[in-house]
Amino acid sequence: MRDDIALQLPANLSRRRFVQGLAVGGALLGLGGRSAWAFNSGSQPQELRGTEFHLEISEIPVNFTGQPRMATAINGQIPGPTLRWREGDTVTIHVTNRMNHTTSIHWHGIILPNAMDGVPGLTFNGIAPGETFTYRFPVQQSGTYWYHSHSGFQEQTGLYAPLVIEPRAAAPYSADRDYVVMLTDWTDEDPNRVFANLKKGDSYYNYVKPTLADFLNEARQKGWSAAWQERAMWDAMRMSPRDLVDVSGATYTYLLNGTTPAGNWTGLFRKGERIRLRFINGSSMSYFDVRIPGLSMTVVAADGQNVHPVTVDEFRMAVAETYDVIVQPQDDSPYTIFAQSMDRSGYARGTLAPQMGLAAEVPPMDPVPTLTMADMGMGMHDMGAMNEMPGMSMPASAAAASSTMATGAAPAKDDAMAMGDNMAGMDMSGMAASPQASAAPEHSHMAHEHTGHAGHTAAPANPHAGHNMDGLAGMDMSSDSMANGSDMQGMNMASQRKPDTMEVTHHPVTENGPGVDMQASVVSTRLDDPGVGLRHNGRRVLTYADLHSLDGSQDLREPSRTIELHLTGNMRRYMWSFDGVEYADAQPIRLQYGERVRFVLINDTMMEHPIHLHGMWSELENQDGGFQVRKHTISVKPGQSLSYRVLADARGRWAYHCHLLYHMMGGMFREVNVA
CA distance 157 to 179: 24
For the segment 244-267, the average pLDDT, to the nearest whole number, is 95
The pLDDT tens digits of the residues spanning 310-323 come to 999 999 999 999 99
At residue 249, the pLDDT reads 94
Residue 278 predicted with pLDDT over 90: yes
Contacts of 216 (CB under 8 A, 6+ apart): none
Report all structural domains of the chain as residue ranges with CATH numbers, in order of start.
3-172 (2.60.40.420), 437-674 (2.60.40.420)
At residue 203, the pLDDT reads 77
Q: How many CB atoms lie under 10 A from the CB of residue 29?
A: 14
At residue 274, the pLDDT reads 98
For the segment 67-83, the average pLDDT, to the nearest whole number, is 97
Element (H, E) at 176: none
At residue 206, the pLDDT reads 81
At residue 225, the pLDDT reads 79
What 8-state DSSP symbol labels residue 57?
Answer: E
Mean pLDDT, the chain, whole residue set = 79
Backbone angles phi, psi at 411, to 5 degrees: -70, 145
For the segment 225-235, the average pLDDT, to the nearest whole number, is 70
At residue 409, the pLDDT reads 37
Q: How many CB atoms lie under 10 A from the CB of residue 592?
A: 11
Residue type at 502?
Answer: M
Q: How many CB atoms lie under 10 A from the CB of residue 201?
A: 12
Residue 169 predicted with pLDDT over 70: yes
| Higher pLDDT among residues 604 and 430, named by residue | 604
Burial zone of 37 (CB within 10 Å; 0-12 exposed, 13-18 middle, 19+ buried): middle
At residue 37, the pLDDT reads 36
Residue 595 predicted with pLDDT over 90: yes
**Percentage of residues in the chain with pLDDT exceeding 90?**
62
For the segment 199-224, the average pLDDT, to the nearest whole number, is 74
| Higher pLDDT among residues 462 and 542, named by residue | 542
At residue 449, the pLDDT reads 73
Residue 394 predicted with pLDDT over 60: no
At residue 571, the pLDDT reads 84
3-state secondary structure of 193: helix
pLDDT confidence tier of residue 45, bands split at 50, 70 and 90 = low
Backbone angles phi, psi at 125, to 5 degrees: -90, -5
At residue 204, the pLDDT reads 84
What pTM, to 2 d.p., does this model score?
A: 0.80
CB of 315 closer than 8 Å to CB of 297:
yes
**Percentage of residues in the chain with pLDDT exceeding 70?**
70
pLDDT confidence tier of residue 455, bands split at 50, 70 and 90 = very low
3-state secondary structure of 418: helix
Q: Which range (144-158, 472-486, 528-542, 543-557) has the least confidence?
A: 472-486
At residue 514, the pLDDT reads 81
pLDDT confidence tier of residue 429, bands split at 50, 70 and 90 = very low
Residue 146 predicted with pLDDT over 80: yes
Contacts of 456 (CB under 8 A, 6+ apart): 490, 558, 621, 624, 625, 626
CA distance 154 to 35: 24
Contacts of 212 (CB under 8 A, 6+ apart): none
| Higher pLDDT among residues 57 and 444, named by residue | 57
The pLDDT tens digits of the residues spanning 462-516 come to 333 333 333 333 333 333 333 333 333 333 333 333 345 677 777 665 666 788 9
CA distance 492 to 455: 8
| Higher pLDDT among residues 31 and 297, named by residue | 297
Closest CA to 248 of 207, 279, 218: 207
For the segment 142-167, the average pLDDT, to the nearest whole number, is 98
At residue 354, the pLDDT reads 97
> Cα angle at 465 between 460 and 471, to 5 degrees?
120
| Higher pLDDT among residues 486 and 22, named by residue | 22
CA distance 469 to 452: 44
Residue 41 predicted with pLDDT over 60: no
Cα 117 from chain centre: 21
Omega before 79 within 30 of 0, i.e. cis: yes
Q: What is the DSSP string of 635-649?
A: EE-TTBEEEEEEE--
pLDDT confidence tier of residue 424, bands split at 50, 70 and 90 = very low
Number of helices and strands (H, E) in the chain?
10, 36
The pLDDT tens digits of the residues spanning 172-199 come to 999 999 999 999 999 999 999 999 999 9
The pLDDT tens digits of the residues spanning 281-290 come to 999 999 999 9
CA distance 27 to 73: 9
Residue 5 predicted with pLDDT over 90: no
For the segment 601-627, the average pLDDT, to the nearest whole number, is 95
Q: Which range (5-19, 86-100, 401-415, 615-629) has the least confidence?
A: 401-415
pLDDT confidence tier of residue 400, bands split at 50, 70 and 90 = very low
For the segment 125-150, the average pLDDT, to the nearest whole number, is 98
At residue 304, the pLDDT reads 98
CA distance 520 to 438: 15
At residue 242, the pLDDT reads 66
pLDDT confidence tier of residue 519, bands split at 50, 70 and 90 = confident
For the segment 657-668, the average pLDDT, to the nearest whole number, is 97
pLDDT confidence tier of residue 229, bands split at 50, 70 and 90 = confident
3-state secondary structure of 221: helix
